[in-house]
Homo-oligomer: A and B are copies of this chain.
Amino acid sequence: MRVTTWAEYGLIVSLHLAKQGREAPTPARDMAKKEGLPADYVEQILLKLRRAGLVSSVRGAKGGYYLAREPETISVKDVIEAAENRTFEVNCDVHKVSAVRCHDGNPCSIRPVWRELQRRVDDMLASISLGDLMLQEAEVQELIAV
């Protein structure tokens, strides 16, 4: 169980854009270079973020990307879902062990575990915004430790 680089990079570039402000667009290539990430790959991720409506883009020279909304209104969950299509994926839904076993009608005492786990993961990730992540590491830590 782990997050992929799609989510990790997606978060890095989103945060980068948040810090850049929303006045002028930032080229993908510049961002990739500054963050030390593969440029072509970053572009793919930005494409996903744009399609999800999290970032906007300006084509042509002097173009680039900028955050579509205020950092405070974009959650970590938003970014991960945009980049990775899901946060926590429950096997009962997608990678079923078997059609019979995982059918809704068939009782399964394990199912509630995954469902509840998903709920808690989503709750936590939805509670953190890009605005929060613009703080220092120690401050963020304090913020999310309930």
Please give the residue numbers on chain A whose beta carbons come within 8 Å of chain B beta carbons, in ascending order.
1-5, 7-9, 11-12, 15, 36-37, 76, 84, 86-91, 94-95, 97-98, 100-101, 107-117, 120-121, 124-125, 128, 133-137, 140-141, 144-145
Contacts and interface: CB of A to CB of B under 8 A. Distances in A.
Contacts of A133: 109-110, 113
How many identical chains are in the complex? 2
Nearest to A80: B1
16 contacts: A1-B7, A1-B86, A8-B97, A9-B97, A36-B100, A36-B101, A109-B133, A109-B137, A110-B133, A112-B137, A112-B140, A112-B141, A112-B144, A112-B145, A113-B125, A113-B140
Contacts of A109: 15, 133-137, 140
A95 B61 CA distance: 35
A120 B124 contact: yes
Contacts of A95: 2, 5
Contacts of A117: 121, 124-125
Contacts of A3: 1, 91, 114
Contacts of A11: 110
